[in-house]
């Protein structure tokens, strides 16, 4: 076998010819910014052609029930790839699953199976998996045929949906590009005709909203592929737990909320090579009753509404024993036949036994009147003056709400918008006494803007109205009906107002959190959050015995929360009652190097705006912490990283971070975080 330098030389010699052959494919980069391939030169892209497209073309069943299928592998521009990596860079491996959907079940059963024996229990279990022992044959450039070693059984149902689910991996490690992954499913009826029964309850887009680019088992990337192996026939012999997709996915996302976990039994799956996966500490970032976060709706995808089953419902409600009837109001259930009778898609009232009713989240009740804020004007916005704020307050149908009827109504003043760095320049007052009528009200602050204040200031409004749902019934409940925060900006001089810079957006947060609301529901927009979570803010209510305060500045705090167990020091925050909330166990569902999952407008890039305030960080490496190290070390929290940051900071001249890490530099943030 040739060593790597020789192979590189051979590829380079072929590069000119290959680039000429590929010229018609164009010279644009196909990878996203977070991909290492995005930073290749045009010559490297033309030669390597990173990326992989895998397509199943056709299927044949031989008279002896042998299954063969042809597939094509190309780069993203459609140029054929050599599976052996001789003519084109990178070997391509392909693995295949053969499965079918027994008619009327909607669930796969795999033909390609193996028997796995547990070294822990000695028990054996049949598991769906990829075919073993099949053969690949080259047909033409980029086109190959795979012959399954597994044959279809005699008398198989030719009228049932059959599926080949295959996944491919292109190894570009020698170019420091890792592997490219692709997958494809091919559905057909061996008897001929159109396929009408498929399994499509969720899809990659739903998963990747939180997970970014979900890859499991090293190279498997699509839900359509997952469900052909994660079938009810597949069990983990080490724990006895099924790895059926419906059950496993519900349970692992419920995690710490599972009744069985709360009762003391961890939810664990032991996988390949005895790898232990404990999902007992998973906290779903949205309310798990938001079924639509994962499930498809409409176009036949709303199975969770129309087809309740013991298997699906019992995976979250795992304290229900359908055989004995324990914890099930309707008693024992020997089949799923009766489920639809009680659990219809939608009933007449929320919080009933219907699927949507049972999963209604109080604050999303359609019967809530809603609260809408607007800031109409702000006068007396000058140093030393008491501002007067005119604001709108209505329900979602634009019916006026009286301020005094609100459970909480606060108006905030903060400045300057450069950083909100002076804690003495944050003013919050209750506006329950505001005067006015017909949804338009006025409140004058009792506290003045400081006499030496400058620049632009923010005016924000927040609050909620207490409401009672289904009053007088057994389902009566109280809920806070919160309005969405509104933040506007005003100049304290004749200059134009300068808004606070936008680093993240609530829409980014809600991609995972669905509808993020904190501190009693009334704080729900990031532009409002940063007013309090500014460079001066620490948890000063921490008991003295626990040491100095933790920085609650937005960037440090949020970075460290999402780092969870990867933090190099404890991340526990104390409230005004001296009670700690620990974020050490947060399991962020994607790579923390994917800055764009939260940041907007490239705000993670260097250089950052000048004259940002240092951050109070009594427990950190630096106190105060310079703006850039404050952000970087909140993720890269090691002594070497701190030493690196310190060596590139001068009290006289500031930070030199952008020299190496600025946009376009050798170690730019996006390049250093590329995957």
CA distance linking residue 55 with residue 76, whole number of Å:
12
Structure-token pair, residue 3: 């060593």
Cβ-based neighbours of 244, under 8 Å, separated by 6 or more: 230, 231, 232, 234, 311
Percent of the chain residues past pLDDT 70, beyond the cut:
94
- The pLDDT score that the predictor gives to residue 24 is 30
Res. 664: pLDDT tops 70: yes
Exposure class string for 96-118: b at 16+ Cβ within 10 A, else e: bbbbbbeeeebbbbbbbbeebeb
Res. 10: pLDDT tops 70: no
Instruction: Reduce the DSSP state of residue 128 to 3 states and report it.
Output: strand
- DSSP notation for 411-460: EEEEE-TTT---GGGEEEEE-TT-EEETTEEEEE-SSPPPTT--SEEEEE
Cβ neighbours, 10 Å, residue 52: 21
User: What is the overall mean pLDDT for the chain?
Assistant: 92
**H helix and E strand count, the chain:** 17, 25
What Cα–Cα distance (Å) separates residue 242 from each residue in 250, 315, 349, 443, 492?
12, 10, 35, 60, 64
Closest among 576, 567, 570, 571 to 539, alpha carbons compared: 576
Tell me the β-bridge partners of 478: 468
Closest among 423, 428, 465 to 443, alpha carbons compared: 428
φ, ψ for residue 122 (rounded to 5)?
80, -5
Taken in order 353, 357, 360, 364, the sign of the CA dihedral is: negative
Tens-digit pLDDT profile for residues 531-559: 999 999 999 889 999 999 999 999 999 99
- The pLDDT score that the predictor gives to residue 365 is 97
Cβ-based neighbours of 449, under 8 Å, separated by 6 or more: 381, 382, 383, 384, 385, 386, 387, 413, 415, 427, 457, 492
Which contacts of 646-651 are long-range, i.e. CB under 8 A and separated by 24 or more positions? 646/621, 646/622
- With residue 259 as reference, give the H or E element that holds it: helix 259-262
Res. 570: pLDDT tops 60: yes
Closest among 54, 90, 32, 166 to 591, alpha carbons compared: 32
CA distance linking residue 94 with residue 111, whole number of Å:
18
Instruction: Order across the sheet with 440-444: list the strands.
Output: 372-379, 388-394, 440-444, 435-437
- The pLDDT score that the predictor gives to residue 299 is 62
For 133, which DSSP code? Answer: S
Res. 474: pLDDT tops 70: yes
CA distance linking residue 431 with residue 410, whole number of Å:
5
Tens-digit pLDDT profile for residues 102-116: 998 999 999 999 999
CA distance linking residue 31 with residue 41, whole number of Å:
13
CA distance linking residue 518 with residue 526, whole number of Å:
11
> What angle do helix axes 204-211 and 506-513 make, rounded to 10 degrees?
120
β 143-147/268-270 pair status: unpaired
Distance of CA 544 to the CA centre of its chain: 36
Model confidence band, residue 14 (pLDDT cutoffs 50, 70, 90): very low
CA distance linking residue 643 with residue 632, whole number of Å:
12
Contact between residue 459 and residue 411 where contact means Cβ atoms under 8 Å apart: yes
Res. 20: pLDDT tops 80: no
Tell me the β-bridge partners of 391: 375, 441
Residue identified by tokens 């923390």 is 592
Structure-token pair, residue 583: 């974020």
Cβ-based neighbours of 101, under 8 Å, separated by 6 or more: 107, 108, 109, 160, 161, 163, 197, 198, 199
Instruction: Reduce the DSSP state of residue 206 to 3 states and report it.
Output: helix
Average pLDDT over residues 135-159: 98
- The pLDDT score that the predictor gives to residue 298 is 76
Tell me the β-bridge partners of 442: 390, 435
Contact between residue 97 and residue 164 where contact means Cβ atoms under 8 Å apart: yes
Write out the E strands in 311-352.
none
CA distance linking residue 34 with residue 278, whole number of Å:
29
Residue identified by tokens 């009232």 is 349
Model confidence band, residue 345 (pLDDT cutoffs 50, 70, 90): very high
CA distance linking residue 651 with residue 207, whole number of Å:
46
- The pLDDT score that the predictor gives to residue 244 is 97
Tens-digit pLDDT profile for residues 263-297: 999 999 999 889 999 999 999 999 999 999 999 98
Res. 504: pLDDT tops 50: yes
Tens-digit pLDDT profile for residues 49-75: 999 999 999 999 999 999 999 999 999
CA distance linking residue 287 with residue 283, whole number of Å:
9
CA distance linking residue 410 with residue 460, whole number of Å:
8
CA distance linking residue 409 with residue 538, whole number of Å:
25
Distance of CA 262 to the CA centre of its chain: 25
Res. 16: pLDDT tops 70: no
Tell me the β-bridge partners of 216: 220
- The pLDDT score that the predictor gives to residue 34 is 67
Average pLDDT over residues 256-267: 97
- DSSP notation for 15-55: HHHHHHHHGGG-S---S-TTSGGGGS-HHHHHHH----EEE
Tell me the β-bridge partners of 146: 69, 136
Q: How many residues does the chain have?
A: 675
């Amino acid at each position: 076998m040739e060593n790597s330098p020789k192979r590189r030389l051979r590829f380079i010699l072929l590069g000119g010819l290959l680039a000429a052959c590929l010229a018609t494919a164009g010279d644009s980069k196909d990878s996203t910014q977070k991909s290492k391939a995005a930073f290749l030169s045009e010559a490297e892209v033309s030669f390597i052609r990173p990326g992989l497209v895998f397509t199943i073309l056709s299927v044949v069943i031989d008279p002896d029930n042998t299954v063969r299928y042809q597939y094509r592998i190309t780069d993203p521009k459609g140029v054929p790839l050599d599976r052996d990596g001789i003519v084109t860079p990178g070997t391509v491996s392909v693995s295949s699953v053969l499965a079918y959907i027994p008619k009327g079940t909607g669930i796969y059963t795999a033909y390609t199976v193996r028997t796995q024996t547990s070294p822990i229990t000695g028990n054996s279990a049949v598991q769906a998996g990829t075919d073993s022992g099949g053969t690949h044959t080259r047909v033409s450039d980029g086109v190959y045929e795979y012959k399954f070693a597994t044959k279809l059984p005699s008398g198989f149902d030719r009228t049932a949906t059959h599926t080949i689910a295959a996944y491919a991996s292109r190894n570009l490690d020698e170019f420091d590009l890792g592997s490219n992954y692709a997958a494809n499913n091919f559905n057909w009826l061996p008897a001929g005709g159109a396929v009408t029964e498929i399994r499509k309850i969720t899809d990659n887009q739903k998963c990747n909203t939180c997970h970014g680019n979900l890859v499991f088992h090293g190279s498997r990337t699509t839900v359509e592929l997952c469900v052909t192996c994660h079938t009810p026939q597949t069990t983990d012999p080490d724990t006895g737990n099924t790895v059926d997709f419906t059950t496993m996915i519900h349970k692992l996302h419920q995690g710490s909320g599972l009744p069985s976990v709360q009762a003391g039994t961890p939810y664990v799956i032991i996988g390949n090579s005895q790898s232990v996966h404990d999902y007992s500490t998973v906290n779903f970032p949205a309310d798990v009753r938001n079924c639509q976060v994962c499930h498809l709706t409409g176009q036949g995808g709303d199975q969770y509404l129309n087809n309740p089953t013991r298997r699906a419902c019992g995976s979250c409600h795992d304290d229900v024993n359908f055989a004995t009837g324990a914890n099930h109001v309707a008693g024992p259930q020997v089949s799923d036949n009766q489920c639809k009778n009680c659990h219809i898609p939608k009933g007449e009232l929320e919080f009933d036994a219907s699927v949507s009713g049972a999963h209604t989240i109080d604050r999303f009740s359609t019967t809530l009147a809603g609260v809408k804020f607007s800031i109409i004007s702000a006068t007396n916005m000058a140093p030393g003056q008491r501002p007067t704020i005119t604001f709108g307050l209505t329900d979602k149908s634009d019916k006026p709400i009286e301020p005094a009827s609100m459970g909480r109504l606060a108006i905030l003043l903060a400045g300057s918008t450069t950083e909100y760095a002076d804690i003495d320049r944050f003013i919050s007052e209750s506006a329950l006494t505001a005067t006015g009528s017909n949804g338009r009200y006025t409140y004058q602050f009792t506290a003045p803007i400081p006499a030496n204040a400058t620049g632009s200031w923010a005016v924000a409004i927040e609050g909620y109205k207490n409401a009672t749902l289904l009053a007088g019934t057994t389902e009566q409940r109280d809920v806070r009906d919160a309005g969405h925060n509104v933040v506007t900006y005003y100049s304290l001089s004749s200059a134009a107002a300068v808004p606070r810079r936008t680093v993240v957006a609530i829409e980014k947060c809600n991609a995972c959190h669905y509808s993020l609301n904190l501190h009693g529901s009334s704080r729900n927009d990031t532009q409002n959050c940063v007013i309090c979570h500014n460079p001066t803010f620490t948890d000063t209510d921490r008991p003295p015995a626990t040491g100095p305060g933790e920085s609650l500045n937005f960037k440090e705090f949020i970075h460290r929360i999402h780092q969870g167990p990867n933090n190099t020091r404890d991340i526990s925050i104390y409230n005004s009652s001296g009670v700690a909330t620990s974020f050490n166990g947060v399991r962020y569902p994607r790579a923390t190097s994917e800055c764009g999952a939260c940041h907007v407008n490239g705000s993670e890039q260097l250089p950052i705006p000048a004259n940002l305030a240092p951050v109070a960080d009594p427990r950190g490496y630096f106190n105060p912490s310079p703006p850039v190290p404050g952000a970087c070390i909140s993720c890269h929290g090691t002594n070497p990283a701190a030493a690196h940051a310190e060596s590139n900071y001068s009290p006289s001249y500031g930070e030199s971070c952008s020299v190496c890490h600025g946009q376009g530099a050798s170690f730019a943030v996006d390049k250093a975080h590329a995957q």
